[in-house]
Chain A
Amino acid sequence: MGVSDLKSKHVPLKEMSYEPKELFRGYTDRVLHINLDNNSVNIKNVSPQMKEKFIGGKGYGLRLLWDATKPETKWNDNENEIVISPGPICGITQYAGAGKSLVVSISPITDIVIDSNVGGYFGPFLKFSGFDALELQGKAKNDVIIVIDGVKNTVTIEEAPAEEIDSHILAEQLTEMYSDSPEPRDMKNISVISAGHAADHTMIGMLNFSWYDIKRKKCRLKQAGRGGIGTVFRDKKIKAVVVKAAGVTQDPNHVADMEPIRERGARFAREMKELDPHQCRMKQEGTAHLVNIMNDYNLLPTHNFKFGSHKDADALHSRVWNKKFTQGMNDGCWIGCTMNCAKAVDDFVLKSGPYKGQAVIVDGPEYETAAGVGSNMGIFDADTVIELNFYCDTYGIDTISFGTMTAFAMECFENGLITKEHTGGMDLSFGNIESALELIHQMARGEGFGKIVGLGVRGMKKYFHEHFDADMNFMNDIGMENKGLEYSQYVSKESLAQQGGYAMTNKGPQHDEAWLIFMDMVNNHIPTFENKAEALHYFPMFRTWFGLMGLCKLPWNDVEPENNAETDEPAKVPEHVDNYVTIYNAVTGSNIDKAEMIRQSERVYNFQRTFNIRRGYGLRKHDAQPYRAAGPVTVEEYKSMEEFYDRKMKEDIGVDPAGKSVGEKIAITRKYREDRYEQLLDAVYLRRGWTSNGVPKIEHMKDLGMDLPEVIEVLSKHQ
């Protein structure tokens, strides 16, 4: 069916015209609110206090979600929202990585706020259309498409029964449908948010944000992957949100002073040109350059995080991805990004599922995907990784969670906690490619064991225990989730700081708050609890700032200035930090310094912690980690590094391992490591200005200027 036929089946439910509003210094100071319960479309003004305290991006998302929901609101209640906000710097084209959107919602798998950042053109186009944020609330009766037309200045809600659900088709259909012509110059002005069939049937649905690649003449997809926001999207019966922009001018943000932004952007572009080929090769390999490096450092998760390296890991080596990725293309997921790390595999012929035999473009795999659906599931086959990457994307599920969940199910299978009787006859041994593919197709069809795996690790633990009488203690030890979110793909056993970097996060164990493994485990730079606490204060706050601005983190530290080694704090990349302070001031006309940058983040970070507490979470007990994240659970794991663990027992614990059974040694190691983690919590809470139960102190909130009445009301019950 052609797009005109598809469109002819649309049923208009609402059309609203709005007054255009140009951006001024990065802001429109307006929010677009859509409620699908009654098809209302409203424009709200942003208050000066909201702008000052919450800045934009994730900050705006949290503020709006707090106001829209009650403490007891569940993910599938009508009032739950999906809030998409880009942030004030988003949309500039003179500095790399300035096209990010932040998406927040109440998560189906954690029951707390999830935030997920994503590239693609939607965020910038939303701003250019006149809005700093989009709130999606309520539920439609039938599948709808929401269209924000920034050219005509209209917002429409249309029932749309005929389009495909899966993203690789739907994004193409809608880009063509709403473009002024099939010419690339017009197609590039459309961006689409969509999910896919598996988001209908699992708790790990994600959102694809499209951008039109004018060189390939195809839609590309970037993902807001974590925490099941795609599941919320489909529960609201949203098939897609489309935004149409008039185009991109030199200065759509109407910044206060363009010259410093240009100068810093040109400086960064030179670094990419001259240094990236000798450093991370982001332009050739993207984040997939890390696979073999993580394997070398025993940090690449294999077999459900049991091990950190594998003899077959060369099959996923960066040189493999270098050949698979099409080279020499402009792979920036926003205009002007000189990092160009959004790599793609072109003309990949699928070997399974509904699109078997078709040649498709696959965005990625990035490191997390290669490790998640590859090594962690015991799969060391690049083409299978690409196939699973494609299906995760088009079906609308998160590659990281899919990998960690499937790896957990595989370990349960190999340990006899579940059998073929439970899996519908599937052999779920590690490395079984056929079963891995069948699982993902079952998730899309909403049937079989795939639907059970789609509950997530926490959901599976409960289900396996209740229905199959599986050992809960063992599953709690090996189930790599914290707060209900599946771990992303780094082995944290030998880095106490990273254990905190994962399990002390606000949303659950995603590495975007803190990645401290090298600093801690390899460099030995942060040996004391106080050192680790300082790192677990600074880096989560610094990294939060990218999410307030609509910026990508990768240009901060995936290429480094030539003189970075000579600076006082090379791990912070001071020149790039200065770039960001300069750009923020140049966009907004403010005059902050790098200390205020951290305070901006601290306000929002502590607000998010308070949001979790308001919902009955966010306390010390919720920062507990599965023991697999901290040390060897099984005899097999201990024996794989017995000499190392024995040495650590002698040196660190002061216990002679001689004559002890492996079981005894595991128990001694565990007691020591669990105690160290508790001491880390104490140190970090102290540094962050929190009580020993992990609650922000009211005094600290006053110091930050974040003593809002509704915040104090929540915190005062826990001081």
Chain B
Amino acid sequence: MDTVTVNGNVIAWKEGMTVRNVLDEMKYSFRLLIIKVNGGIVKRENWDDFSVPKNADIKVIHLMSGG
């Protein structure tokens, strides 16, 4: 099975998988996120279209919010 690693968690990779698919899969609904795929930042406006390569190391950095 092809995989990607998201914040240290290994999940299945699928053909055409986008950053948005990864967020949905991980149930990452928080909005203050910084996303890096293999070290490169993916800007928010590209999350729906950016294809994640197999074996990618994805960092979804959650910032802080709230009182």
Contacts and interface: CB of A to CB of B under 8 A. Distances in A.
Contacts of A296: 27-30
Contacts of B32: 279-280, 557, 560
Contacts of A571: 61, 63-64
B29 A292 contact: yes
Given A297-B30, A518-B30, A558 B61 contact: no
B41 A287 contact: no
A515 B66 CA distance: 9
A16 interface: no
Contacts, number: 74
A367 B66 contact: yes
Which of A281, A287, A515, A523 has most chain B Cβ within 10 Å?
Answer: A523
A188 to B, nearest CB: 25
27 contacts: A278-B44, A279-B31, A280-B32, A290-B65, A290-B66, A293-B29, A293-B31, A296-B29, A297-B29, A297-B30, A367-B66, A511-B67, A515-B66, A518-B30, A518-B62, A518-B64, A522-B7, A522-B60, A523-B61, A557-B65, A558-B65, A558-B66, A560-B32, A560-B63, A564-B34, A570-B63, A571-B63
User: In which size bucket is the chain B interface?
Assistant: 20 to 34
A519 interface: yes
Which of A290, A368, A565, A571 has most chain B Cβ within 10 Å?
Answer: A565
- A contacts with B: majority SS: helix
Given A523-B7, A570-B61, A368 B30 contact: no
Interface in B22-67: 27-32, 34, 41, 44, 59-67
A280 B33 CA distance: 11
A47 B54 CA distance: 65
A280 B31 contact: yes
Contacts of B60: 522-523
A213 interface: no
B62 A519 contact: yes
Interface residues of A, number: 33
Contacts of A511: 66-67
B48 to A, nearest CB: 13
A279 B29 CA distance: 11
Nearest to B67: A287
A522 B60 CA distance: 8
Interface in A362-391: 366-368
Contacts of A297: 27, 29-30
A554 interface: yes
Which of A297, A522, A558 has most chain B Cβ within 10 Å?
Answer: A522
Given A296-B27, A523-B61, A524-B8, A565 B67 contact: no
B41 A554 contact: no
Complex A-B, nearest 9 residue pairs according to Cβ-Cβ distance, in ascending order: A518-B62, A565-B34, A296-B29, A524-B8, A557-B64, A522-B62, A296-B27, A293-B30, A558-B65
A278 B29 CA distance: 12
A564 B63 CA distance: 10
A498 to B, nearest CB: 11
B34 A368 contact: no
Contacts of A287: 65-67
A101 to B, nearest CB: 15
A314 interface: no
A51 interface: no
Contacts of B34: 564-565, 570
B9 to A, nearest CB: 9
Contacts of B31: 278-281, 293
A164 interface: no
Nearest to B29: A296
Given A367-B67, A511-B66, 20 more contacts: A278-B44, A279-B32, A280-B31, A280-B65, A287-B65, A287-B67, A292-B29, A293-B30, A297-B27, A511-B67, A518-B64, A519-B64, A522-B60, A523-B59, A525-B61, A557-B65, A558-B65, A558-B66, A564-B63, A571-B61
A522 B32 CA distance: 13
Contact of A366 (B29, B30, B64, B67): B67
